[in-house]
Structure 1
Amino acid sequence: MILRLFLIGVVLFIIELYAFQAVKTLIKLRWMLISYQILSLLLFVFILYSFTQFDRSVGQTQQTMFTMGLLLVIYIPKIVMTVVLLGEDVFRLAAGSINYFIDNNSDANFLPSRRKFVSQLGLGLAAVPFLSLIYGIFEGKYNYKVIKQAIHFPDLPDAFNGFTITQISDVHSGSFDNPEKISYAIDLVNAQNSDMILFTGDIVNTHAKEMHPWIETFNRIKEHEYGKYSVLGNHDYGEYVTWLTQIDKEENFDAIKNLYGQIGFTLLLNEHTFIEKGNDKIALVGVENWGKNFKQAGDLKKAAQHLSKEDFKILMSHDPSHWDEVVQHDEKHFHLTLSGHTHGMQFGIEIPGYFKWSLAQYVYKQWAGLYENLGRYVYVNRGFGFHAYPGRVGIMPEITVIQLIKGEKLA
């Protein structure tokens, strides 16, 4: 732990040196430069100190999220400046080497002077993530978007043509700090008037008690004609803190499972149920968390026991890596999988229908929106809440409305 903090400190110190190089090419007043250095030092010490105070028996708190937000707001812009100036230093070193060794101009300075416009460019580029991260903390994290997605299935039972499903995921109630905004989001959920609502896991960050202040609010999610169902996410198992005893961990896990019932959702634990409409039915399958790099409690075979390939199946599985690694290859043909988990990293660029990018795509093949392989679909919800970084930039919190359509999709 100490070695890790030391290495982080060294990297941050190098970043600070480069950032100061950019600042001092534009600011000439000595008192302003000294003030900048003092403020940077104080923030640097505060961030390092805050991380040393992290208590793994408690887990994430509002204080740790504040520290993470501060770290990103301060150092991502400075990293941008560092990259720009480091690139210039590579150029300066190459130019100096050519000038000194090839042109034999030993009288000139080995390194050309740093150019003011490069520092200005670095500062200008750094302003983009700085302002974006600030916006993400104060506005973006509650900027809910309702995303509607129609999905076509040739073998959808006739009675379910036009059937609508609202999906929410990754609530992370322990991160909330604005009751008015959460109440507004619940109003958005209810306004969709879907036939059924599905919740694909992560009701808390770690502890069941995180949800207690929000139970009444989430109980305002109205009854849906064809039910309210849920599954567990990786955070619901309490894996990311150190527990005093195994009994404490188990009691917390039981309490978290009970939370879903307390807000009116039926929790499916490696099992399935049938949704009946008219003379037709579809199978709703729910597995516990299964992640390539996370807890693998999901048992697809158990959950789908006695179901056939011909049964129309909707699967709830929190982590989309389950679909990528297992579900899409399963011989029982799961028509539609609903997942969450990635949050789209809560940071990216998205122009709906045209372009989306996030660091999440380098970790997960399916990270936001709809994906298809041989008639099998997975939809990855971008998440209702937020975790670690207390904000969202570009990838906004999502309420999904999926409409099932019978037939082939028109080109």
Structure 2
Amino acid sequence: MGFRFLILFVIIAIVELYAFQVIKTVTKSKWILIGYAVVSLAAIVFITYELLKFDRSVGQTKTTLITLGLLLLVLLPKIVLTFVMLLEDVFRFLMGTVTHFMGHNTDSFLPQRRKFVSQVALGLAAVPFLSLIYGMTIGKYNYKVIRQTLFFPDLPEAFDGFKVTQISDIHSGSFDNEEKIRYAIDLINEQESDLLLFTGDIVNAKADEMHPWIDIFKGLKKYEHGKFSILGNHDYGAYLDWKSEKAKEDNFVAIKDLHRQIDFKLMLNEHVKIKKGNDEIALVGVENWGRHFGSNGDINKATENLTATDFKILMSHDPSHWEYIIKKHPKNIQLTLSGHTHGMQFGIEIPGFFKWSLAQYMYKQWAGLYEEFGRYVYVNRGFGFHAYPGRVGIMPEITVFELKKGEKVA
């Protein structure tokens, strides 16, 4: 552990040194340099203090969110500065070597830093800096309604045109703006769907995080075919140190009861039949299944008495469940709805053209629609936010699916 801290200290020292060199190259004002040094030191001291005193029995707090946001705000732009300055140093070293062997007499082996390069570095560093500020002030509540039309040859006739709204990853413990949450609830209600599904993580860790928001979420209107939900990895209290197993279990019971309090039917490795006219489809809900976050989900139990020919919609929080189990499951799960990844709350999306996030290096399916073997999984980007108190490029999402009978038109 001590060696890791040493490595981290060395990296931060290098980043800070290069960042200071940029400021020093751009301006010669003593007061600006002193001011920069004081602000940087204060930020480092505050971040270090807050991280060292983090209490796993309390978990994430508003101060923790601010600290992580400040850490990214301070670190990412300076990493950009360091990268540019390292490139300049490589160039300076090569130029110095060439000059030396050509026999030119110079006062210094290395050429001086160029002000223009430092100005370019500052301009590049401004992009993540301003983006992170945007994400923490506007982006985290910049809800997007994404519509998907999905075609299934085996969809029962009566469900042709059936509309399903999905939300995921509420993370109520991170909310800090009642007006924005009310706006999001109104936006969900405006979609005029037949069915509302919530695919897990109602809290960050503790049931009482949701208490201030229960009345607002009770504002979700009634749906003709109901409101259903499942659990996510954060709903099991696994990321906290509890005083006792009983305290942990009591919290888990309280979290499950939150779903009842906001008028959702919580599904725990089970299924229900959704009937319309003379037809029906099966809605399946499993507990969380994940390679790294616990595997309580039991798809075999949840699909008991269902056949491969039944049309099924599965709610499973972690999309890795689909990748490793569901997409080849003999019961033929036509559509799986997941969440969990948040798209890392940071990335670049140009709808229909380009999509990138660090999440793609952790999850094969991380945002949007994927298909294999004629079976689909959709990964919702999440309603709330966690850890980093914002969203950059990957906006909070409300998804509306329209199910259509037939083959997809190319």
TM-score category, normalised to shorter length: over 0.9
SS in 1 for 2:388: coil
- Aligned pairs for 1:107-186 within 5 A: 109-186=108-185
Q: How much has 1:3 moved relative to structure 2? A: 5.2
CA distance in structure 2 between the aligned counterparts of 1:339 and 1:15, rounded to whole angstroms: 38
Matched, 1:345 2:334: no
> Is the contact made by 1:292 and 1:325 (CA closer than 8 Å) also made in structure 2?
no
Q: How much has 1:49 moved relative to structure 2? A: 0.8
> Is the contact made by 1:287 and 1:298 (CA closer than 8 Å) also made in structure 2?
yes
For 1:399, the aligned partner's letter is I
CA distance in structure 1 between the aligned counterparts of 2:24 and 2:131, rounded to whole angstroms: 24
Q: How much has 1:5 moved relative to structure 2? A: 4.4
State the match for 1:103 in structure 2: 102
CA distance in structure 2 between the aligned counterparts of 1:360 and 1:218, rounded to whole angstroms: 29
CA distance in structure 1 between the aligned counterparts of 2:386 and 2:363, rounded to whole angstroms: 18
Identity of aligned residues (%): 65
> Is the contact made by 1:9 and 1:48 (CA closer than 8 Å) also made in structure 2?
no
For 2:84, the aligned partner's letter is V
State the match for 1:402 in structure 2: 401
CA distance in structure 1 between the aligned counterparts of 2:197 and 2:229, rounded to whole angstroms: 6
- Aligned pairs for 1:8-407 within 5 A: 8-100=8-100, 102-103=101-102, 105=104, 109-407=108-406
CA distance in structure 1 between the aligned counterparts of 2:207 and 2:182, rounded to whole angstroms: 20
Q: Name the count of aligned residue pairs.
A: 410
1:277-328 CA distances to partner (integer Å, 9 max, x unpaired)? 1111111111110112221111111111111111111000000111111111
Q: Give the stretch that moved more between structures: 352-361 or 4-13.
A: 4-13
CA distance in structure 2 between the aligned counterparts of 1:3 and 1:305, rounded to whole angstroms: 52
Q: How much has 1:107 moved relative to structure 2? A: 5.2
Q: How much has 1:99 moved relative to structure 2? A: 3.5
1:310-366 CA distances to partner (integer Å, 9 max, x unpaired)? 111100000011111111111111000000001011111111222211111111111
SS in 1 for 2:129: helix
SS in 1 for 2:378: strand
Pair 7,61 (structure 1): closer, same or farther in 2 beyond 3 Å: farther
CA distance in structure 2 between the aligned counterparts of 1:2 and 1:406, rounded to whole angstroms: 60
For 2:301, the aligned partner's letter is K
- TM-score, normalization by structure 1: 0.97
CA distance in structure 2 between the aligned counterparts of 1:104 and 1:324, rounded to whole angstroms: 63
1:70-92 CA distances to partner (integer Å, 9 max, x unpaired)? 11111111111111111111222
CA distance in structure 1 between the aligned counterparts of 2:384 and 2:74, rounded to whole angstroms: 23
Q: Give the stretch that moved more between structures: 279-288 or 85-94.
A: 85-94
CA distance in structure 2 between the aligned counterparts of 1:365 and 1:157, rounded to whole angstroms: 30
- TM-score, normalization by structure 2: 0.97
CA distance in structure 2 between the aligned counterparts of 1:69 and 1:33, rounded to whole angstroms: 24
CA distance in structure 2 between the aligned counterparts of 1:95 and 1:370, rounded to whole angstroms: 50
CA distance in structure 2 between the aligned counterparts of 1:130 and 1:59, rounded to whole angstroms: 27
Q: How much has 1:109 moved relative to structure 2? A: 2.5
Q: Give the stretch that moved more between structures: 194-203 or 113-122.
A: 113-122
CA distance in structure 2 between the aligned counterparts of 1:207 and 1:71, rounded to whole angstroms: 25
Q: How much has 1:10 moved relative to structure 2? A: 2.8
SS in 1 for 2:50: helix
CA distance in structure 2 between the aligned counterparts of 1:163 and 1:233, rounded to whole angstroms: 26
Where does the alignment leave 5 or more consecutive residues of structure 2 unmatched?
Answer: none
Q: How much has 1:152 moved relative to structure 2? A: 0.6
> Is the contact made by 1:201 and 1:233 (CA closer than 8 Å) also made in structure 2?
yes
Q: Give the stretch that moved more between structures: 313-322 or 104-113.
A: 104-113
Pair 347,12 (structure 1): closer, same or farther in 2 beyond 3 Å: same
> Is the contact made by 1:22 and 1:119 (CA closer than 8 Å) also made in structure 2?
yes
Q: How much has 1:39 moved relative to structure 2? A: 1.2
SS in 1 for 2:94: helix
> Is the contact made by 1:5 and 1:48 (CA closer than 8 Å) also made in structure 2?
no
SS in 2 for 1:338: strand
For 1:176, the aligned partner's letter is F
**RMSD of aligned residue pairs (Cα, Å):** 1.3
Q: How much has 1:4 moved relative to structure 2? A: 4.4
> Is the contact made by 1:338 and 1:380 (CA closer than 8 Å) also made in structure 2?
yes
For 2:225, the aligned partner's letter is Y
SS in 2 for 1:357: strand
Q: How much has 1:228 moved relative to structure 2? A: 0.5
SS in 1 for 2:391: coil
Where does the alignment leave 5 or more consecutive residues of structure 1 unmatched?
Answer: none
Q: How much has 1:12 moved relative to structure 2? A: 1.7
> Is the contact made by 1:370 and 1:378 (CA closer than 8 Å) also made in structure 2?
yes
